[in-house]
């Protein structure tokens, strides 16, 4: 096991093809990034498996519900928060052209995930999504094209058009960030990935009792 003090700041770098946040990309940049995202999944899952295997020798990226238990334990023991510097906040607000409401939310934040922890939550999110995808027939990665959505431009997990079930997409990478922050701060149990899997498995296989207006036939 790696020394806890080092955590995982040396965790494999992710080289994005476009240096922008998902919601800032043009449609062309978004499509390029989505194609890149789909292409790197095998590589990132191999990296994640190798790192977890060092702490849990019997762990394999077999995309089973059971594998999510040790995924959560491993993530919790290797991520941390760091101080969110004032100049970083202001740069983010300026570069992303945030509204006053968004800017106020950013200025209230004291900490953020460390760079290595961000890379871990990215791969953990992909693994969670792939686990759902491999266990639900009509599920696939899609590119969020809806401009008014908070997830605009990002990869989402969604039911195919021919699916007999209707349910809104899962913003996997945002969910994995929230989960990882909770694990780093000690506010979330290490079986949270299992809980999320169970909830979304039910959503995607049984659907809601009542459909939101935009999903009504």
> What is the per-residue pLDDT across 55-95, written as a single tens digit (0 to 9) for each?
999 999 999 999 999 999 999 999 998 787 777 778 767 77
Provide the domain count of the chain.
2
Residues 65 and 190: their CA atoms lie apart, in Å, by 14
In a shared domain, residues 96 and 141: no
Residues 160 and 172: their CA atoms lie apart, in Å, by 16
Please give the model's pTM, rounded to 2 decimal places: 0.84
Share of residues in the chain with pLDDT > 70 (%): 84
Q: Which residue has the higher pLDDT, 38 or 97?
A: 38
Q: How confident is the model at residue 130 (pLDDT cuts 50, 70, 90)?
A: very high
- The closest alpha carbon to 157, from 143, 137, 176, belongs to 143
Q: Please, what sign has the CA dihedral across residues 76, 52, 72, 129?
A: positive
Task: Flag whether 108 is in a domain.
Answer: yes
**Residue ranges making up the domain that contains 29:** 23-79+114-206
Task: Flag whether 135 is in a domain.
Answer: yes
In a shared domain, residues 88 and 182: no
Task: Flag whether 5 is in a domain.
Answer: no
Question: Residues 155, 208, 163, CA angle at the centre, nearest 5°?
Answer: 60
Confidence (pLDDT) at 193: 97
In a shared domain, residues 90 and 100: yes
Task: Flag whether 3 is in a domain.
Answer: no
Q: Could you report the per-residue pLDDT of 88-123, keeping only the tens digit for each?
A: 778 767 776 777 877 777 787 667 889 899 999 999
pLDDT at 143 over 70: yes
In a shared domain, residues 91 and 186: no
Task: Flag whether 199 is in a domain.
Answer: yes
Among 62, 94, 113, give the residue marking a domain's end: 113
């Amino acid at each position: 096991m790696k020394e806890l003090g080092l955590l995982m700041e040396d965790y494999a770098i992710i080289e994005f093809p476009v240096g922008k946040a998902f919601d800032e990309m043009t449609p062309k940049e978004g499509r390029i990034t989505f194609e890149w995202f789909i292409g790197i999944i095998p590589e990132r899952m191999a990296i994640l498996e190798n790192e977890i295997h060092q702490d849990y020798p019997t762990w394999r990226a077999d995309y089973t519900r059971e594998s999510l238990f040790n995924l959560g334990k491993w993530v919790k023991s290797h991520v941390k928060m760091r101080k969110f510097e004032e100049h970083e906040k202001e740069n983010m607000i300026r570069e992303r052209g945030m509204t006053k409401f968004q800017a106020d939310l950013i200025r209230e934040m004291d900490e953020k995930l460390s760079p290595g922890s961000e890379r871990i939550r990215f791969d953990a999110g992909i693994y969670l999504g792939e686990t759902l995808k491999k266990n639900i027939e009509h599920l696939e990665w899609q590119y969020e094209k809806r401009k008014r959505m908070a997830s605009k431009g990002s990869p989402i997990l969604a039911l195919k058009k021919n699916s007999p079930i209707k349910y809104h997409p899962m913003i996997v990478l945002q969910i994995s960030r929230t989960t990882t922050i909770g694990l780093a701060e000690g506010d979330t149990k290490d079986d949270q990935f299992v809980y999320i899997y169970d909830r979304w498995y039910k959503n995607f296989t049984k659907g809601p009792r009542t459909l939101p207006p935009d999903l009504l036939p």
